[in-house]
């Protein structure tokens, strides 16, 4: 009985001192910000760490593209061959949508600047990021982008 009471008291003390779970919207914005930082550093190995282990595919339908980890990395590797490569997400304009306790969407505009030093082009996109909470924290399950450029 004393051992159970002691275990209960210790568990309660740990629970009271443990940091409260952060707001999922803040966590997925931070995840995406770190994901973009890895892209801009051209660190594809680091980019991969932000994804859950999931089926590897690219699916395009009705003007939308769904990107799994391998498809994202393959496409980034091609783009990062350009002299200029920089992603600028507008996180201040993002909308986070809680889907369930362990899944959320982040919807945001971004601008991809890519090309030669002398004349890089800017491409605005709308991106949806499906995130899921794992034992290692929030991870990206999939990216959805429009195949049309935003005007």
User: For the chain, what percent of residues have pLDDT higher than 90?
Assistant: 41
Q: What is the pTM of this model?
A: 0.74
User: Do the domain assignments include residue 2?
Assistant: no
CA distance 150 to 117: 23
What's the pLDDT band for 56 if we cut at 50, 70, 90?
Answer: low
Q: How many domains does the chain have?
A: 1
What's the pLDDT band for 10 if we cut at 50, 70, 90?
Answer: very low
Range of the domain at 88: 20-146
Task: Output the CA–CA distances (angstroms, integers) from residue 104 to 33, 71, 79, 146, in the order listed.
Answer: 15, 21, 28, 19
User: Do the domain assignments include residue 8?
Assistant: no
Phi, psi torsion values for 13, nearest 5 degrees: -65, -40
User: Do the domain assignments include residue 34?
Assistant: yes
Q: Which CATH number fits the domain that encloses residue 52?
A: 3.10.450.50
Three-class DSSP category at 87: strand
User: Do the domain assignments include residue 133?
Assistant: yes
User: Do the domain assignments include residue 52?
Assistant: yes
User: Do the domain assignments include residue 110?
Assistant: yes
The per-residue pLDDT for 120 is 94
User: Do the domain assignments include residue 9?
Assistant: no
pLDDT in tens, 67-117: 667 777 777 787 788 899 899 999 999 999 998 888 999 999 999 999 999
Residue 9 has pLDDT above 80, yes or no: no
User: Do the domain assignments include residue 27?
Assistant: yes
């Amino acid at each position: 009985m004393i051992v159970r009471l002691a275990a209960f008291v210790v568990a309660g003390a740990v629970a009271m001192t443990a940091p409260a779970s952060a707001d999922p919207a803040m966590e997925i914005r931070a995840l995406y910000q770190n994901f973009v930082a890895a892209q801009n550093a051209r660190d594809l190995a680091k980019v991969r760490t932000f994804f859950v282990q999931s089926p590897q595919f690219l699916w395009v339908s009705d003007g939308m593209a769904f990107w799994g980890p391998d498809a994202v990395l393959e496409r980034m590797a091609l783009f990062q061959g350009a002299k200029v490569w920089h992603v600028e997400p507008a996180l201040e304009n993002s909308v986070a949508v809680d889907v369930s306790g362990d899944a959320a969407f982040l919807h945001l505009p971004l601008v991809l600047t890519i090309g030669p030093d002398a004349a890089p082009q800017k491409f605005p996109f709308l991106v949806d990021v499906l995130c899921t909470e794992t034992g290692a924290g929030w991870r990206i399950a999939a990216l959805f982008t429009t195949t049309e450029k935003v005007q």
